[in-house]
């Protein structure tokens, strides 16, 4: 909750000042003079100005750099707006060129000991510690630069739901759009593609890593489901993820937990028939994660197409999250859809497992060749699956491309073929699906 | 989503200026001069200053009042902070006295055509239209005061879930704590007490009015449930409610809606046994309302004690809302708990219906008199109920005061007695409950 103005005490604020165009010193001195007469701001002290080389950006002249110590009760964003007004008054244009030349550059470096992470302002300044041209003037002003909090390298990791919810809430209140990538860990490049897309589309990205017991049946692979937390965290770091939420089971489901979220039709067949209770478990954990994070967008892989249909239904019915983004399947070079469960496969099964993709592709090719009859297309895929003795078919279905509703027999104008096949003992179930109109399939990020 | 500064155009802003202490004109002229040299602000024109009588507050001197026309791209809250700084510089103390005397008073009246409703700033100024001492200087400055949007009298009414969610979101982002009072309409003073408490504890209050078909059984009173929307709206207006959300059924549950939220243990007995599916219907609609409104606090009456236990479980398990506030029962003068269903009762049944409260009070009196045996206390209440032939008992239970878990036979240190009784044909079911430690029962607001 923001603080009421009248409650706020004056704080010590440090501002970076710089210029590398026109009369640099005059621009800096004029801005400082303007700050000194601004209501609510007292200029305490100004550092020595130094000549420094530009960092990044196009070829440009040397900078004159310094820092100013202010006392003020004006909020950080009010100061930011005043700085922008001074930059504009000095003739600066906001033309989108990063690190380009500028007649005046003002940066909020420190606002008391306040830490802030909003869309347009992060405090302490995130690149402060890397910049000697900022640190030197701060030392002039008597700031102990060694005690300034450094930005954390890699994602912030949360175990406690409340702390994660508070982190998300603070970013949302700071105007950031938040992307959420829920996972069960054992991350692979399929997950990474979700993170890359979230990174491109959202100002802050959170990944959740939680092997959700509610979505595993009594005889399923909960205990042997792969846990690779250190590698997962490194993958998140490389994908530029801001926060990882990895709760313990008893934090997600405290003693006495007994609520369930369930959807109807979308959850009833295919995976829902093979794995009773699975989608209620998925819907319950996702509802809980959405409630905690309240993302603007959340990202799911199309490999679990029915899960996406279930969550889309949940999102429509209960309105729990922002947009749900369905992302293309990432495949191994031989076509096998990436899955955390692929690592269970014995080498011979791993080779045989390409049969899922091969069978779907055979149906897609037949469709492209003019075969549009539902049962004939299913027979084409089935023939490929039957030719692989190591796989035991759970289901093969041709469904509506959007909501995965069953299609009537006869001619189909479009559709998505889905299958589940078991390999080995204990069985490893693999899923795959493909649009009959393969060209419509979105490329993964 | 807030607008990035660099995208924002300069707007015409009108500021009210006033003073009734010290050298009033000097204070006003000094503040205007300070605004004129503030980065990012241009003073366009200043109105004539007028002598006016103070409005409200303690006895005090006459005001000098005027208005200033500014051009600026500074955000409304940045301007607000600058105004506070100027007031403070003029010697004003923020001592909490409303409408007290002041050496300088600056009010943001208009910020372009922007409408804004945040915790500390509402635009246009909410009392602008009532104040001739503000309107006259605005006319000096050429503002057509007739076209300024007037604050709506009474609550804003929403039918569309998205519009209601957007209203709630904007208030939350503006720093307001939001209180939610979910109802099925047919409002009475029990509901009003929830609204009064929400009004006292939250900066904005929203009431929802929705007769939720999901929580009615096939043979229950959905069709004849009382609908009194005009009177409900008037009650909300008198309680100072800011928004009323009254959706149509097909907006809450569009075609294809099939998701359900359900809780376990708390929903299983008493009302849950008598009304199968009732609490899943309640949990589903409340989850949907919480998701839309995302309140900081939501308010429920203790008359429906089991419903409160169910929602508390839902809130704990899924973490969908902020705090859940349970409010004391409001009773008619003869002790009958207020309920929308009381209006169904024939006069003789209405008189007989006091038996619920009388039976619970008899048990409480016995407890106060030293009878602490569970079954003996139940027998005391049962005897009173049995003496009233017009009522047919559905259940009478002595439960844990907090989570309503069953209590073992024998001595009970505390507890809550709950009952449901039917009257007439078609039957009207009435509920009531009372703590054995009556003095602990919180008074309704």
DSSP code per residue over B40-103:
TEEEEEEPPPEEE---SSSS-PPEEEEEEEEEE-S-HHHHHHHHHHHHHHTT----S-TT---S
* Residue A71 phi, psi dihedral angles, 5° rounding: -120, 130
Q: Pick from B5, B94, B78, B99: which is nearest to B35 by CA?
A: B78
Give the residue on A whose Cα is nearest the Cα of B4.
A120
The overall longest dimension of chain B from CA atoms, in Å, is 83
Question: Does position A212 have pLDDT exceeding 60, yes or no?
Answer: yes
Active site residues of B: 191
Structure token digits, residue B318 = 């899924």
Distances (CA, A) of A324 to A182, A279, A315, B284: 12, 17, 8, 21
**Partner B contacted by A320 (CB < 8 A):** yes
Question: Does position B3 have pLDDT exceeding 50, yes or no?
Answer: no
Q: What residues of chain A lie within 8 A of the CB of B249, using their CB?
A: none
Model pLDDT, residue A440: 57
Query: Between A402 and B435, where is the model more confident?
Result: B435
Q: Which of B92, B261, B315 to mutate to test the interface with A (most CBs of A within 10 A)?
A: B261
- Cβ contact A169:A117 at 8 Å: no
Structure token digits, residue A316 = 């429509």
Model pLDDT, residue B250: 95
Q: Do A316 and B261 touch (CB under 8 A)?
A: no
Burial of B16 (0-12, 13-18, 19+ CB in 10 A): buried
Model pLDDT, residue A7: 53
Q: Which of A310, A317, A403 to mutate to test the interface with B (most CBs of B within 10 A)?
A: A317
**Partner B contacted by A109 (CB < 8 A):** no
* CA–CA distance, A84 with A285 (Å, rounded to integer): 44
**Partner A contacted by B37 (CB < 8 A):** yes
ipTM > 0.95 (yes/no): no
* CA–CA distance, B5 with B236 (Å, rounded to integer): 38
| Stretch among A2-11, A100-109, A152-161, B65-74 having the lowest mean pLDDT | A2-11
Q: What residues of chain A lie within 8 A of the CB of B259, using their CB?
A: 261-264, 283, 313-314, 317-318
Q: Do domains B5-147 and B156-327 have the same CATH topology?
A: no
Model pLDDT, residue A418: 98
Confidence class of residue A194 from pLDDT cuts 50, 70 and 90? very high
Question: Does position B239 have pLDDT exceeding 90, yes or no?
Answer: yes
Q: Do B5 and A81 touch (CB under 8 A)?
A: yes
* DSSP 8-state code for residue B149: P
Ordered by start, the domain boundaries in chain A are: 5-147, 156-327, 340-440
Model pLDDT, residue A3: 45
Q: Do A161 and B262 touch (CB under 8 A)?
A: no
Closest-CA distance of chain B to residue A250, Å: 11
Q: Do A77 and B75 touch (CB under 8 A)?
A: yes
Give the residue on B whose Cα is nearest the Cα of A259.
B263
**pLDDT digit string, tens, across residues B93-151:** 877 777 788 999 999 999 999 999 999 999 999 888 888 999 999 999 999 988 887 77
CATH superfamily assigned to domain B156-327: HUPs (3.40.50.620)
For A238-250, what is the mean pLDDT? Answer: 97
**pLDDT, mean over chain B:** 93
- Cβ contact A304:A431 at 8 Å: yes
Question: Does position B265 have pLDDT exceeding 90, yes or no?
Answer: no
**pLDDT digit string, tens, across residues B343-396:** 999 999 999 999 999 999 999 999 999 999 999 999 999 999 999 999 999 999
Q: Pick from B186, B195, B182, B190: which is nearest to B231 by CA?
A: B186
For A417-431, what is the mean pLDDT? Answer: 96
Q: Around Cβ B369, how many Cβ atoms within 10 Å?
A: 9
**pLDDT digit string, tens, across residues B301-337:** 999 999 999 999 999 898 777 899 999 999 999 999 9
* CA–CA distance, A152 with A237 (Å, rounded to integer): 11
Query: Between B55 and B282, where is the model more confident?
Result: B282
Q: Do A318 and B78 touch (CB under 8 A)?
A: no
* CA–CA distance, A132 with A228 (Å, rounded to integer): 39
Query: Number of H helices and number of E strands within chain B?
Result: 13, 17
Strand partners, A327: A301
Of A191, A219, A278, A372, the active-site residue reads A191
* CA–CA distance, A200 with A203 (Å, rounded to integer): 8
Q: Do A2 and B291 touch (CB under 8 A)?
A: no
One-letter-per-residue 3-state SS of chain A: CCCCHHHCCCEEEEEEEEECCCCHHHHHHHHHHHHHCCCCEEEEEECCCEEECCCCCCCCCCEEEEEEEEEECCCHHHHHHHHHHHHHHCCCCCCCCCCCCCCCEEEEEEECCCCEECCCCEECCCCHHHCHHHHHHHHHCCCCHHHCCCCCCCCEEECCHHHHHHHHHHHHHCCCCEEEEEECCCCCHHHHHHHHHHHHHCCEEEEEECCCHHHCCCCCCCCCCCCCHHHHHHHHHHCCCCEEECCCHHHHCCCCCCCEEECCHHHCCCHHHHCCCHHHHHHHHHHHHHHHHCCCEEEEEHHHHHHHHHHHHHHHHHCCCCEEEEECCCECCCCCECCHHHHHCCHHHHHHCCHHHHHHHHHHHHHHCCCCEHHHHHHHHHHHHHCCCCEEEEEEEEECCCCCCECCCCECCCCEEEEEEEECCCCEEEEEEEECCHHHCCCCC
**pLDDT, mean over chain A:** 93
Strand partners, A300: A326
Strand partners, B393: B421
Question: Does position B11 have pLDDT exceeding 80, yes or no?
Answer: yes
Question: Does position B445 have pLDDT exceeding 80, yes or no?
Answer: no
**pLDDT digit string, tens, across residues A291-324:** 999 999 999 999 999 999 999 999 989 877 789 9
Angle between helices B278-293 and B305-318 (to 10 degrees): 50
Give the residue on B whose Cα is nearest the Cα of A162.
B319
* DSSP 8-state code for residue B268: S
Model pLDDT, residue A64: 96
> What SS3 state is found at B19?
strand
Distances (CA, A) of B307 to A259, B75, B121, B282, B360: 14, 45, 37, 8, 19
- A219 an active-site residue? no
Structure token digits, residue B11 = 């707007």
Model pLDDT, residue A442: 67
Q: Which of A30, A34, A37, A81 to mutate to test the interface with B (most CBs of B within 10 A)?
A: A81
Q: Around Cβ A416, how many Cβ atoms within 10 Å?
A: 21
* CA–CA distance, A284 with B318 (Å, rounded to integer): 8
Q: CATH: 3.40.50.620, 3.90.550.10, 3.40.47.10, 3.30.1300.10. Which one for A340-440?
A: 3.30.1300.10
Distances (CA, A) of B214 to A130, B209, B256, B261, B282: 59, 15, 14, 11, 7
* CA–CA distance, A337 with A419 (Å, rounded to integer): 12
Dihedral angle computed from the Cα positions of residues A383, A388, A392 and A396, in that order, rounded to the nearest 10 degrees: -30
Angle between helices A76-89 and B76-89 (to 10 degrees): 100
* Residue A124 phi, psi dihedral angles, 5° rounding: -55, 160
Question: Does position B238 have pLDDT exceeding 50, yes or no?
Answer: yes
* CA–CA distance, B436 with B416 (Å, rounded to integer): 6
Q: Do B89 and A313 touch (CB under 8 A)?
A: no
**pLDDT digit string, tens, across residues A346-381:** 999 999 999 999 999 999 999 999 999 999 999 999
Confidence class of residue A2 from pLDDT cuts 50, 70 and 90? very low
Classify domain A5-147 at the CATH class level: alpha beta
Query: Between A250 and B95, where is the model more confident?
Result: A250
Would you list the DSSP string of B215-257?
GS-TTSSTTTS---HHHHHHHHHHTT-SEEE---HHHHS-TT-
Rg, chain A, Cα only: 28
Q: Do B316 and A254 touch (CB under 8 A)?
A: yes
């Amino acid at each position: 909750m923001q603080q009421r103005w009248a409650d706020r005490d004056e704080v010590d604020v440090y501002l970076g000042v710089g210029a590398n165009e026109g009369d640099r010193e005059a621009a800096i001195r004029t801005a400082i003079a303007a700050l000194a007469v601004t209501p609510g701001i007292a200029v305490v002290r100004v550092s020595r100005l130094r000549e420094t080389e530009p960092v990044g950006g196009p070829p440009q002249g040397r900078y004159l750099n310094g820092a100013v110590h202010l006392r003020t009760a004006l909020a950080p964003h009010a100061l930011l707006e005043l700085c922008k007004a001074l930059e504009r008054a000095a003739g600066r244009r906001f033309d989108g060129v990063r690190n380009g030349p500028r007649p005046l550059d003002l940066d909020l470096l420190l606002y008391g000991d306040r830490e802030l992470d909003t869309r347009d302002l992060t405090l302490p300044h995130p690149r402060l510690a890397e910049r000697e041209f900022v640190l030197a003037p701060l030392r002039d002003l008597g700031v102990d630069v060694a005690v300034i909090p450094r930005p954390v390298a890699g994602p912030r990791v949360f175990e406690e739901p409340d702390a994660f919810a508070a982190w998300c809430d603070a970013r949302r209140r700071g105007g950031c759009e938040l992307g959420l990538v829920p996972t069960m860990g054992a991350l692979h490049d399929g997950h990474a593609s979700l993170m890359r897309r979230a990174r491109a589309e959202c100002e802050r990205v959170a990944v959740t890593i939680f092997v959700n017991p509610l979505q595993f049946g009594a005889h399923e692979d909960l205990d042997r489901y792969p846990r690779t937390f250190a590698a997962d965290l490194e993958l998140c770091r490389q994908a530029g993820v801001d926060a990882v939420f990895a709760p313990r089971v008893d934090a997600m489901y405290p003693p006495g937990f007994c609520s369930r979220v369930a959807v109807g039709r979308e959850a009833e067949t295919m995976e829902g028939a093979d794995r009773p209770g699975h989608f209620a478990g998925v819907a319950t954990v996702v509802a809980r994660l959405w409630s905690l994070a309240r993302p603007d967008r959340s990202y799911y892989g199309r490999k679990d197409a029915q899960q996406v249909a279930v969550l889309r239904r949940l999102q429509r019915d209960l309105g729990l999250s922002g947009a749900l983004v369905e992302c293309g399947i990432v495949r191994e070079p031989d076509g096998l859809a990436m899955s955390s469960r692929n690592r269970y496969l014995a080498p011979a099964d791993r080779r045989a497992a390409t049969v899922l993709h091969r069978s779907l592709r055979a149906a897609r090719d037949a469709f492209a060749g003019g075969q549009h009859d539902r049962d004939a297309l299913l027979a084409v895929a089935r023939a490929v699956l039957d030719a692989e003795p190591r796989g035991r078919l759970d289901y093969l279905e041709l469904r509506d491309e959007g909501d995965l509703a069953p299609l009537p027999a006869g001619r189909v104008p479009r559709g998505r073929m889905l299958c589940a096949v078991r390999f080995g003992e204990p069985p490893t179930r693999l899923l795959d699906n493909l649009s009959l109109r393969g060209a419509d399939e979105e490329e993964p990020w």
